[in-house]
Amino acid sequence: MDVLARLVESDLEPQVWLMLAVGDQRGLQNHDGYDDDPSQTYEWTSAVNNGRSVREGDVILLRDTEALIGISVIDDITLEASTRQTYACPVCGSAKVAERKQRAPRYRCQACRSEFDQRVEATEPTTRYRSHHGPAWVDLAGALSRSELAELQLHRGDQNAIRPMVAERVIAELPAAIDLLARRSLSWHEERSADGHVTVFTRARIGQANFRNQLLQRFGSTCAFTGPAPFQALEAAHLYSYARHGRHESSGGLLLRRDVHRLFDDGVIAVRERRLDVAPEARDYPAYAALHRQAIQVPIDRGHDTWLDAHWTQHRPSPMTLVP
């Protein structure tokens, strides 16, 4: 079984979630909005169904009202005591109130079907949660439609803003994205039980800080592709799939600026004979066009060459031919 297909649903609670992320337009207008930047953060409150079950290390798929936006792994969740403004139907008290921007009256209750221009307002205490998931973000804008995403849910009729997903279905629909996600932030761990395999996923953070420090000591504050850079802007980039390999190799990493790290992971930038090869679609941007055919900016060894050749073979049609 492919190591990437080992992302499975926990027996106790789902670890893969679908989240509706559309700023202050999350469907029914029964509360003030949230301040989301889908590629970096997601906000919800303790009043949201399933919200208290989301944990650091969980995989999340974010969507808007029409389609998938992207996928990531939660790196951190911050909590704070807060209040929220709620809105209800003045007739029946239901919070299922929809706003109609082009019709009058402005609001319609989906419970009793009353129509009105003013909602009943109230303030109540709540806990506000904010996920931070930028490091592993994989942009998948439009890759799956709303209806296609519904087929991947644990409960297909689920209408909550946060919904549990079936991991096997997600993997089957998005194998390349899961591969990249695993490369960026997941390692796989197997445990054997009396009746066979119990397989779970864990965040690949073990030793990552030490690995980056070792690279800083070896190469200094230098991006291997672009040259000297503030150390805060540099990431420890594996030249191989850490999710598959499971350990940090001394010649298996380079320091890269975050933007070129992403392009390297996606194969947009590759290396052959210690020179950068930038795919044609990225050469429309002057900053990346200037990198094409430039030499690597740090001294590397044969171990690096081996891993970079393997990366080239994976992402270029011919392992021996540079793109002109």
Would you kindly state where each structural domain of the chain is located, as residue ranges?
Answer: 3-80+129-177, 208-315
CB 99 within 8 A of CB 105: no
* Angle ∠(283,231,311) on CA atoms, nearest 5: 45
Classify each residue of 230-251 as buried b or exposed e, where b means 16 or more C-beta atoms within 10 Å of its C-beta.
Answer: eeeebbbbbbbbbbeeeebbee
pLDDT tens, position by position, 77-96? 888 888 888 889 999 999 88
pLDDT tens, position by position, 29-60? 444 445 557 888 999 988 899 998 898 888 99
CB 21 within 8 A of CB 39: no
Specify the 3-state DSSP secondary structure of 212: helix
**CA-closest candidate to residue 223, choices 257, 250, 274, 272:** 257
CATH 3.10.590 fits 3-80+129-177, yes or no: yes
What is the mean pLDDT of each successive set of 10 residues along the chain, which is 324 residues long? 39 72 50 64 90 87 91 86 88 92 92 95 88 86 91 91 92 83 53 37 44 86 94 81 48 87 89 94 94 96 90 72 50
Question: pTM score, two decimals?
Answer: 0.51
pLDDT value for 58: 87
